[in-house]
Chains A and B, each alone.
Chain A
Amino acid sequence: MDKPLTGALRDDRRPLTLAEYRSAGGYRGLQQAIKNLDPEGVLQQVKDANLRGRGGAGFPTGIKWSFMPRGVGAPKPRYLICNADEMEPGTFKDRLLMEANPHLLIEGMAIAGYALGASIAFIFLRGEYTRAAAHLQRALQEAYDEGCLGSNILGGPFSMELYLHTSAGRYICGEETALINALEGRRANPRTKPPFPQVSGLFGQPTVVNNCETLCNLPAILAEGAAWYRALGRHEDAGTKLFAVTGNVRTPGLWELPMGTPIAEIFEQCAGGMAEGYRLRGFQPGGASTDFLLPQSLELAMDYDVIGKAGSRLGTGSLILLDDRTCPVAMVQNLTHFFAQESCGWCTPCRDGLPWAEQLLTEIDAGRGRPEDLDTLLDLCDQAGPGNTFCALAPGAAAPIQSALRLFREDFDAHIARGSCPYHD
């Protein structure tokens, strides 16, 4: 199988040097873009490849780019930002890419920058990824030294500066407009949309924010062509994706697989199924902010629309498994604690609603819940639902609560009826 993202990685996962990367076919995509295509041509390739954003929402990258004003009259400077904030629990895909093959990202960003006419680009890296930071910093130096960044990249007319910004830790920084505020040295509250960043983003200038993994797909698309890339997918969606499995499975981990791979295949073949003595109760298919699904959904193909239709989201493609020995109430409490704590504090349903939900879940888990608390929880989820809050953090927080109340209702009822947690005796 072709692996545009991880194919070149060394077995020991040490980062590829520029030379190693080159000999594995690196910087061919950038070469192709700069030597043989104009920016519009690159954009067209990306559209044709049907690349969808890997940051969670799956928005088509080519379309996102096309909202960026280009051409002679367009405002300058224009910015490109790689979103490598990766703080969603259960998600660690971007980390692998940056730690093990930093040049892949750099090349991807140079290609995107060329297509967008961005003269300045940033990698917004979460603060705890110190190893990734070190590897990227070294790779950036190499790339500058070898003319892959800076002025007249690969001898062409295109120039772009690429800087690494390391964050100081807040999940909300992953939200693209909050990220922009963070990059401007401000409090990371999200911004009003519209206007979208492509129109008025970093420092008010046109800006595109793409996920790290999204950008890492570009070198292969340019080098091998859109048709090749599309054909990698096993279902509707194109290309490959990094899928993770965590929880009580035999071998938790991260694998590059075609889009559309059935969940069961990832779960059984890659992760080796449940660990000894555990049974699968349910799972979150795309990270902590996605709705739970039941084991019968294992048949589904990991495609944006398929998972969407099943009532959840592909999200970051990181499966978090709930087993039969873990209390679903406590798990949801843990998830809600995360979201309540990471709320930026801008809008009411999130800022005040989530801590309340957390408090109720804590009470229920401790056996102090009341039957009517479940209605209150559902109300709070409704309040925090899509469109009701300023950004997508709160809906992401509501998703696991709401789906757990639906799918594992008997556990909630049992806690309340017994006045204690059934998993604890």
Chain B
Amino acid sequence: MPRIRIDGQAYEVKEGLNLLQACLGLGLNLPYFCWHPALGSVGACRQCALLQYRDEEDRQGRLVMGCMTAVADGQILSLKADKARHFRAGVIEALMTNHPHDCPVCEEGGECHLQDMTVMSGHHHRRYRGRKRTFVNQDLGPFINHEMNRCITCYRCLRFYRDYAGGEDLHALASRNHTYFGRASDGPLESEFAGNLVEVCPTGVFTDKPLSQSYTRKWDLQHAPSICVHCSLGCNISPGERYGRLKRVQNRYHHGINGYFLCDRGRFGFGHVNHPERPQQPLVRENGRLRPVAASEGLAELARRLETTERWIGIGSPRATLESNLALRELVGADHFFTGLGSHPNALNRALLELLRLPGVNTPSLREIEACDALLLLGEDITQSAPRMALSVRQAVRGAGRDRAAALNIPPWQAQSVQIAGQNARHPLFISHVTATRLDPIAEATYRASPQEQAALAFAVAHCLCPEAPAPEGLDEQAQSLAEKIAEALLHAKRPLIVTGPSSGALPLVEAAGQVARALLNARPAEACPPALIPVFAECNSLGLTLLTQDAAEADLEQAFALSEHGPVGAIILENDLFRRAPGPLVQGFLERLTQRIVIDSIPSPTLNAADLVLPATSFAESQGTLINNEGRAQPLFPVHALHAERRNSWQWLAAVAGHRALKGFASPADALATCVTAAPELAPLSQALPSAAHPFTRLAVPRMPHRNSGRTAAGANLDVREDQQPQDHDSCLTFSMEGAPAPWLSRQSGIGARLPFSWYPGWNSNQAVHKFKDAVDGPLRGGESGMRLDLVCRDNGWHRPLPVDTEAQGLLAVVQPAIFGGEELSNLAAPVFQRAALPCLRIHPDDAPAWSVADGDRVLVRGASAATELPLRVDPRVARGIALLPPTCPPLGTGPTRVSLRSLGSDPLIATDHPEPTDG
């Protein structure tokens, strides 16, 4: 470990860092702009200068840029020397010559890295008398505002958007002090990670557009450590609330999962929390209409109904917390608890869970994915269904460039040199899917085929790797040679990775993914790094629900439907819209047969509309509970703001029922969590999250509001000058207040990282404050991160035998293609996300069109076994033959793998106008 001296103080620092990383890791305040912990150094802003002395005798020193200078043993440095300070102030002064004085109206104000660094550098007096340059801004779509006059030309936006996230529509234009960052012309930024620009830009060029529609400064927002509920990855987020409205979502650092970045669905998809049609209070059906009632009356109704009906079933949900699902199961009894999913999705979830159980195979975090060097994506378009993982996959593929640079002794943080040395070097990525994906351009090879054929390919890969793995039959030559190529790449990689998921709807494909991992384990030498295998799931708590119900013999929705046909039964439906789960006619029949329909949910839905009693559930932003992500990591959610009396966590409604149905073990969030711990052996590690005497946080008050929150005394002043009492939080270490443990003190407590509602530190108002809560800039939060990995029992189910590909089947196989925007249920209720959704349409391969006498642009009737729908048709050569690719919003047309027939209804008026006229400037 190199020993260096800074301003007379000796330190030991980690080898391989640059001086800026080292200084920040030591907690020293060295200002910077163009450097970013995830994007590395490019030496553009010259803000991070410090003085380096040749030796003890040297009194002059010379300026070096911290971010561009590697640490070396014996360095003698100064941050405080006048020359360094003066230079840093001068850099700010130069940047400010063109920066507008619009802080009061700038949405970055109060969390602006430029403001922070300006104060830190000590520049406060303006000498410049010239004019400031001005730019014309662009309309970048529903997510992001553009205000180029504020640009300080640090190139971070470009480096994130283009180099890191692979975006192709943001560029540096013009040059010198007219350098402009924007698109070739107005239009929505295409990258699904564009929202990160809000946080990556150190000033107010790119700001959060939905926030600006009802703006609140960071210092007036109330936050909580929360988890994104829009896919199964469990990215950590910091939602901000004011006046009962959720205003925005920002990234919350998690070393293993999301790091510094979220996807745009996670960032902008929270509109369901503020949705005007969201149930606000209990509703009771009277004379065919739902009448709002007080919470107490809602509860009384619940109790009364539970008493009057004999038989109850409970229908759980993969988007409800573990606590809520468990409470319902306890209430109705395990035999009467259903997952709320059909048998097929349940089977897929169980098969995906089996993948996590494979002995000897590693379950990587997203961060570990970034270090993989040969990747196989099997049947899951993660760019749409688990977007943040796709960003990690990009980093893995770019790893080949980092390796090349390392061979030339270029350190990984030397971003520009790494890129030049790496050129277009890529680690091999193989993508097998029913259609094109947004990662295809960086893939070594893609395979577009039906899920069965994809499974055959994967089985063939397994067979190539290990002859014991049974070979599939009837694979064509091309697929065979691709299988060999994939096997070769995986075998020789240092860290091979396989990814799969449920979207293709094919069980054999999931099993084949496991088979590849198992074969790889057999084929690789014992000392080699174990192969990595990671499933993604459909929803934020799919795995939690699966763990709760894995041993239940009859927990499928079909079985609930069947049960309702035998005698009167009432149902409690928990946070679930059944019309998304099963064909409409079947759900309709089921709901009609029920004698009681109690729906607990936080969003409007057709299922909710059919209820006799509606109990308004908390959204994620008001919930306390546990979600289990795709890696088997249980993570806690905390409410952002105090509970609205009429809305409760679903489990709280159930726990409040009196009488003989009264639930034990759900008296408080801690109590509910304790009950979860014992609900299944594999959930035992959850006990680590229980408050205990030894736990430092039980006695701590972690403020949810930054220090300067003005809400304490002013929020309700227009209604009553008497100050409201601050709501109390008895259930966590957090307070609904700006008062509590001060940030510098908190930053020194180990383990606090997981509980930080927002990042703030004196002098560091922007999210960059997060360094202060870490021991090393590139390391985890001090003392650990949110959540704990469950200890899943290892199980080896042996080799799977590939099934022959069914060539006889009639009709096209329906596959629902997930979409980052316009697919997932909750984010679809967010206006900006919905605006970014593509027009829903059916896609088929051109070769399949003639057989059904349909053509591109037709409106077609798509008929499945149990239901039918109408959609515009797109004929698309990228779709595999024999597949009807359905939009994510398409209601289920059958149960399980479904074949559909098509009939043209003439040309579609919507899609006909979809072709833009070619234009020339």
**Hey, which bits of chain A sit against chain B, CB under 8 A?**
170, 187, 191-192, 194-195, 199-200, 203-204, 340-349, 351-353, 355-356, 359, 363, 372, 376, 379-380, 382-383, 387-390
Residues from chain B with a CB closer than 8 A to the CB of A355 are 97, 130, 176-177
Instruction: Specify which of A345, A348, A372 is in contact with B94 (CB 8 Å cutoff).
Output: A348
* Residues A351 and B177 in contact in the complex (CB < 8 Å), given A191-B416, A192-B417, A195-B421: yes
Contact A340 B417, beta carbon cutoff 8 Å: no
Least Cβ–Cβ distance between B420 and chain A, in angstroms: 5
If the complex has contacts A204-B422, A356-B94, A383-B90, are A390 and B44 also in contact, measured as CB distance less than 8 A? Answer: yes
14 A–B pairs (Cβ distance < 8 Å), ordered by A: A191-B417, A192-B43, A195-B410, A200-B420, A348-B94, A352-B94, A355-B176, A372-B127, A380-B94, A383-B87, A383-B90, A383-B91, A383-B94, A390-B46
> DSSP class of A's interface residues: helix, strand, loop or mixed?
helix
Measured CB to CB, the nearest residue on chain B to A187 is B172
The answer for the CA separation of A382 and B153 in the assembled complex, in Å, is: 21
Residues of B near A352 (CB, < 8 A) are 94-95, 97-98, 177
B128 touches A348 (CB 8 A): no
A194 cross-chain contacts in B, Cβ below 8 A: 417
Residues of B within 8 A of A376 (CB): 127
Cβ of B211 to closest chain A Cβ, rounded Å: 29
> What residues make up the interface of B, taking CB atoms closer than 8 Å to A?
42-47, 49, 62-64, 68, 87, 90-91, 94-95, 97-98, 127-130, 152-153, 155, 172, 174-179, 404-405, 408-410, 414, 416-417, 420-423
B178 to chain A, nearest CB (A): 7
- A349 adjacent to B94 (CB under 8 Å): yes
Determine the residue in chain A with the shortest Cβ distance to B409. Answer: A195
CA distance A211 to B611 in the complex (A): 82
Taking the closest CB of chain A, its distance from the CB of B661, in whole angstroms, is 68
Nearest chain B residue, comparing its CB with the CB of A394 = B46
A346 in contact with B44 given A352-B95, A352-B97 (CB within 8 Å)? yes
A238 vs chain B, min Cβ distance (A) = 31
Instruction: Name the CB-closest residue of B to A362.
Output: B130
Is the CB–CB distance between B420 and A348 below 8 Å?
Answer: no
B45 CB contact (under 8 Å) in A170, A343, A347: A347
The docked-state distance in angstroms from the alpha carbon of A65 to that of B62 is 29
| CA A279 to CA B420, docked complex, whole Å | 51
User: Which of the residues A341, A343, A351, A388 comes within 8 Å of B63, measured between beta carbons?
Assistant: A388
4 more A-B residue pairs beyond the given contacts A342-B176, A351-B179, A352-B95, with a C-beta to C-beta distance below 8 A: A192-B42, A343-B175, A349-B46, A387-B63
Task: Give every chain A residue within 8 A of B423 (Cβ-Cβ).
Answer: 203-204
How many Å lie between the Cα of A195 and that of B43 in the bound state?
14
* Contact residue among A343, A356, A390 (Cβ-Cβ distance under 8 Å from B128): A356
Q: Which residue of A lies closest to B173 (CB)?
A: A187
Partner of B177, one of A200, A345, A382: A345
Given A191-B420, A192-B417, A388-B87, are A345 and B178 neighbors across the interface (CB < 8 Å)? yes
> A356 near B176 (CB under 8 angstroms)?
no
Residues of A within 8 A of B91 (CB): 348-349, 383
A217 to B45, CA, bound (A): 39
- Chain A residue numbers with a CB within 8 Å of B153 are 345-346, 348, 351
Contact between chains at A348 and B95 (CB < 8 Å): yes
Using CB atoms, name the residue of chain B closest to A200: B421
- Write the nearest CB–CB distance from B98 to chain A, whole angstroms: 6
Q: Give B401's nearest chain A residue, CB to CB.
A: A204
Residues from chain A with Cβ under 8 Å of B176 in the complex: 340-345, 351, 355
Distance from A200 Cβ to chain B, minimum over Cβ atoms (Å): 5
Residues of A within 8 A of B174 (CB): 345
Residues on A with C-beta less than 8 A from B63 are: 387-388
A192 to chain B: which residues have CB within 8 Å?
42-43, 68, 414, 416-417
Task: Name the residue of chain A whose CB is nearest to the CB of B99.
Answer: A352
Q: Judging by beta carbons under 8 Å apart, are B62 and A348 in contact?
A: no
Tell me the bound Cα distance from A358 to B311 in angstroms.
86
Q: Which of A204, A340, A347 contacts B46 (CB under 8 A)?
A: A347
Q: Among A344, A348, A390, find the residue whose CB has the most chain B CB atoms closer than 10 A.
A: A348
Among A187, A192, A382, A390, residue most surrounded by chain B Cβ atoms (within 10 Å): A192
Bound Cα distance A151, B47 (Å): 50
User: Given the known A-B contacts A187-B172, A192-B416, A383-B87, are A347 and B130 also in contact in the complex, defined by CB atoms under 8 Å?
Assistant: no
Q: Contact: A356 with B97, CB < 8 Å?
A: yes
Closest Cβ–Cβ distance, residue B151 to chain A (whole Å): 11
A57 to chain B, nearest CB (A): 19
B47:A345 contact, CB within 8 angstroms = no
Sorted from nearest, which 9 A-B pairs have the closest CB atoms?
A352-B94, A345-B179, A359-B130, A204-B423, A345-B176, A343-B176, A200-B421, A345-B175, A383-B90
Minimum distance in angstroms from B95 CB to a CB of chain A: 6
Once the chains are docked, how many angstroms separate the CA of A199 from the CA of B95?
A: 34
Chain B nearest Cβ from A186, distance in angstroms: 10
Q: When chains A and B are docked, how far (Å) is the Cα of A61 from the Cα of B42?
A: 28
Chain B residues lying within 8 Å of A187, measured Cβ to Cβ, are: 172, 175
A345 to B174, CA, bound (A): 9
Residues of B within 8 A of A191 (CB): 416-417, 420
Contacts known (A383-B94, A387-B63); A204 close to B420, Cβ less than 8 A:
yes
Contact at A347–B408, with CB atoms within 8 Å?
no
The answer to whether A348 and B44 touch (CB under 8 A), given A192-B68, A195-B408, A200-B408, is yes
Q: Is the CB of A348 within 8 A of B46?
A: yes
CA distance A295 to B641 in the complex (A): 77
Nearest chain-A residue to B404 (Cβ)? A204
Q: What are the residues of chain B within 8 A of A340 when measuring CB–CB?
A: 176-177
Report Cα–Cα, A388/B47, bound state, in Å: 10
Q: Pick the most buried of B64, B177, B404, B417: most chain A CB atoms within 10 A of its CB.
A: B177
Residues of A within 8 A of B130 (CB): 355-356, 359
Q: How far in angstroms is the closest Cβ of chain B from A206? A: 10
Closest residue on chain B to residue A199 by CB atoms: B408
B175 and A204: CB pair below 8 A? no
Q: Which residues of B contact A342 (CB under 8 A)?
A: 176
Contacts A192-B416, A352-B97, A352-B177; A388 near B49 (Cβ below 8 A): yes
Q: Are A389 and B46 in contact (CB under 8 A)?
A: yes
Chain B residues closer than 8 Å to A389, beta-carbon distance: 46
The closest CB in chain A to the CB of B410 belongs to A195
Question: Within the assembled complex, what's the spacing in Å between the Cα atoms of A388 and B48?
Answer: 11
Closest chain B residue to A203, Cβ basis:
B423
Task: Kindly provide the distance from the CB of A23 to the nearest chain B CB, expressed in whole angstroms.
Answer: 44
Chain A residues whose C-beta falls within 8 Å of the C-beta of B87 in the assembled complex: 382-383, 388
In the assembled complex, the Cα of A217 lies from the Cα of B174 at a distance in Å of 37
Give Cα distance in the complex from A175 to B408, angstroms. Answer: 23
Cβ A387 vs Cβ B46 within 8 A: no
Q: Whose C-beta in chain A lies nearest to the C-beta of B64?
A: A387
Q: In whole Å, how far is A85's beta carbon from the nearest beta carbon of chain B?
A: 16
Shortest beta-carbon distance from A69 to chain B in Å: 10
A351-B177 Cα distance, complex, nearest whole Å: 5
Given known contacts A347-B45, A348-B46, A359-B130, A387 and B94 CB-to-CB distance under 8 angstroms: no
Q: Is the CB of B45 within 8 A of A348?
A: yes
Give chain B residues whose Cβ lies under 8 Å from the Cβ of A372: 127
A195 cross-chain contacts in B, Cβ below 8 A: 408-410, 417, 420-421
CB distance from B743 to the nearest CB of A (A): 30
In the complex the two chains form, is A343's CB within 8 Å of B420's CB? no
Cβ–Cβ < 8 Å partners of A200 in chain B: 405, 408, 410, 417, 420-421
Residues A363 and B97 in contact, CB atoms below 8 Å apart: no
Pick from A199, A345, A387: contact of B62, CB below 8 A. A387
Shortest beta-carbon distance from A191 to chain B in Å: 6
Q: Which of A344, A356, A363 is the most central at the interface, judged by chain B CB atoms within 10 Å of its CB?
A: A356
Nearest Cβ distance between residue B645 and chain A, in whole angstroms?
54
Residues B177 and A343 in contact, CB atoms below 8 Å apart: yes
Is the pair A347, B421 in contact by a Cβ cutoff of 8 Å? no
By a CB distance below 8 angstroms, the chain A residues around B179 are: 345, 351
Cβ–Cβ < 8 Å partners of B94 in chain A = 348-349, 351-353, 356, 380, 383
CB neighbours (8 Å) of B417 from chain A are 191-192, 194-195, 200
B159 CB to closest chain A CB (Å) equals: 12
